[in-house]
Structures are given as C-alpha cells and as structure tokens.
C-alpha cells in the first residue's frame, strides 16, 4: 500500500486494498442536411455500431462477463508480484471476448458504462472473497462514483467481509476524472474509511490537474503506456516521466508504469525510481490465474 501496512507479503502486495445503454446517444444517426444523403458506408458503420452496443448491453445484462488478471510487479529485480489488475472482458454469444476498444469509448458516457463497472466490481469482490491472499485493482469510470447500484454492490460485500477493502484498489483514469472532479472528490472522502486504496490511471493521457493530486486521496499514479514505450531511447518521455514521478512523490504517492514490454524499459524505469511495473514483459492478462488453475493459464 502506498500508505500501507508494513506486514504485507510479496504476493499480498504493496497496495491495499448518461444515456441508456442502447439509446444510441454515442452513435446518433448522422444528420441529414438538405440536399445531402447519408452514404451506404456511413449507414453500414452506424448499423454495425448499434448491433455491437446491443450485443454488449445484452452480455452485461445476462452477466456474460469475466475478469482477466494481469500481474503488477516490483520495479527492481527479482520483480516479485505485488498484486493483479482485474480487467473486464465482455463475451459475445459464442463466448468470445469483445475487444474493449470497440465499445468502451461509447459505453463510457452512457449508462452501459456504469453497468460494466458494476459487473467488474462484482466479479472482483467475488474473487477477493474466494482467494484470501489475493490483492486486486479494478477499473472504474469517474462517472460511476455517484452510481447507486455500484455503491450497493460494494456496501453489501463489505458488510459480509470488511477485510476485503484492505486488498482492493480502485483505479480511475485521468481523462474520466477531468469530466467530474467534484463528484470524485466527494466519493473518495465518503468511502475512504473503508481502507480502499485509489490509483489515478492513464496519467499524462489527459490534462494533469495538480490541484486534483493535491486535494484528492489517490495513493498512486499510473503513468500512461505512451510515455513508457522505448523510454530508454526517448529523452522527451524521460523528462516527462521524471517530472510526473517528482510530482507524485511531493504528494506522497507511489508511481507505477504501464505497458512495460522490454528489459531495457524496465531497467530505465527502475533506475528512475518507479515503484511498480505492469505490461506484457511481465505477463499478459489471463482468465485462468495461477490461484485458480495451477496447471496452466489462458491468455485473454
């Protein structure tokens, strides 16, 4: 935990812890101007997107979702696993994961995004209940901070077992936080007493708000992968990462780098003082983590 208990084991980890879904708000019909018609290609894309959002909505409604788990490791060798991030996977009728990049941006601003966050939270809490040694981080949109059903799922789980909170980290992306900063501030102060940790994700991808870092309860920041790729060869990104790290340290926050794939990247980041690393260089997301399937893992 960045502001953490000192008695955690390496596996236990260092961190504790809009519009209706298919209203078409994010994929509105292209406006027909007088004298202009919609092209067949535009119509085909619109229909495809509507079908996709309907498929995603039905999958979430019928709980056809699961988590894929990716390890987060210490930056310095031997790179011990500290915790895992649980990444939501929505399944199509054939049981295949639907790529999040194909629907998440549209879902983010609709109620469907809130329901996806509810599904991820419920799955993550269930995993924590089943596996006492597990520490887990879960993504949520800042817009879900005021969503009643999300709060109800969390409250019910913590009433059954209050110790889950110390093994849970909630991640919010910087771009989503920029939309509703006041809502997030109230939310974080309201549930801070549970002992849940908070991480600010995709730092650098949106407008970095220093007042938010100063006034919030975030325990850590996650530097966006676009600044991590080949960082050992990119002086500009090196300067940016050093500045972000110094800012986080000033506010007593831990620092994690995302998207680490090479030994060279990992070595530079460790030498730069980054605490934790996440990326395919240390493990791909898997729907069958070691604690569930000692015989093997399925990548997802």
Q: What is the pLDDT of residue 185?
A: 83
The mean pLDDT value for 157-165 works out to: 96
- Tens of pLDDT, residue by residue over 189-206, are 888 889 999 999 988 766
Q: Please list, in sequence order, all residues whose beta carbon lies within 8 angstroms of the beta carbon of residue 72, skipping any fewer than 6 positions away.
A: 13, 81, 82, 83, 84, 85, 137, 256, 276, 277, 278
Higher-confidence position of 183 and 260: 260
Mean pLDDT calculated for residue range 180-197: 87
Residues above pLDDT 70, as percent of the chain = 80
* pLDDT recorded at residue 13: 39
Ranges of each domain in the chain: 51-278
Measuring CA to CA, which residue among 92, 11, 31, 86 is closest to residue 57?
Answer: 92
At a CB cut-off of 8 Å and minimum separation 6, what does 299 contact?
284, 285, 286, 287
- State yes or no: pLDDT of 254 exceeds 90: yes
Higher confidence at residue 38 or residue 164? 164
Look up the CATH architecture of domain 51-278.
Alpha-Beta Barrel (3.20)
Question: 17-41: string of b/e by CB count within 10 Å (b at 16+)?
Answer: beeebbebbbbeeeeeeeeeeeeee
The per-residue pLDDT for 299 is 57
Query: 11 or 122: which carries more pLDDT confidence?
Result: 122
Mean pLDDT of the chain: 84
Single pTM value for the model: 0.82
- The DSSP output letter for 196 is -
The pLDDT tens digits for 68-124 are 999 999 999 999 999 999 999 999 999 999 988 889 989 998 999 999 999 999 999
Residue 298: the pLDDT is 56
252 closest CA partner among 226, 213, 212, 194: 213
Name residue, tokens 């996440």: 278
Q: How many CB atoms lie within 10 A of CB 242?
A: 12
Which residues, 6+ apart, have CB-to-CB distance to 86 below 8 Å? Answer: 67, 68, 69, 120, 123, 124, 127, 136, 137, 138
Mean pLDDT of 151-160: 96
């Amino acid at each position: 935990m960045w502001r953490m208990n000192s008695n955690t084991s390496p596996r236990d980890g260092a961190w504790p812890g809009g519009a209706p879904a298919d209203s078409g708000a994010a994929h509105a019909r292209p406006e027909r101007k007088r004298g202009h018609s919609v092209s067949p290609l535009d119509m085909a894309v619109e229909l495809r997107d509507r079908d996709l959002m309907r498929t995603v909505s039905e999958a979430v409604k019928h709980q056809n979702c699961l988590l894929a788990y990716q390890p987060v490791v210490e930056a310095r060798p031997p790179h011990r696993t500290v915790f895992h991030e649980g990444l939501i996977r929505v399944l199509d009728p054939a049981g295949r994961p639907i790529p999040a990049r194909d629907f998440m941006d549209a879902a983010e601003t609709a109620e469907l995004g809130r329901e996806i966050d509810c599904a991820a939270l419920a799955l993550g809490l269930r995993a924590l209940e089943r596996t006492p040694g597990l520490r887990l981080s879960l993504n949520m949109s800042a817009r879900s901070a005021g969503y009643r059903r999300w709060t109800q799922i969390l409250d019910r789980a913590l009433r059954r077992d209050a110790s889950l909170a110390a093994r849970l980290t909630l991640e919010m992306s910087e771009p989503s936080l920029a939309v509703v900063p006041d809502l997030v501030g109230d939310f974080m102060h309201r549930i801070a007493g549970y002992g849940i940790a908070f991480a600010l994700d995709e730092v650098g991808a949106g407008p970095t708000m220093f007042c938010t870092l100063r006034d919030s309860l975030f325990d850590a920041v996650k530097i966006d992968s676009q600044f991590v790729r080949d960082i050992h060869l990119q002086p500009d990104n090196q300067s940016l990462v050093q500045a972000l790290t110094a800012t986080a340290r000033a506010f007593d926050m831990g620092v994690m780098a995302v998207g680490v794939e090479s030994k060279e990247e990992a070595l530079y980041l460790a030498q730069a003082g980054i605490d934790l690393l996440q990326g395919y260089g240390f493990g791909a997301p898997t729907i069958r983590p070691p604690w569930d399937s000692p015989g093997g893992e399925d990548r997802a």
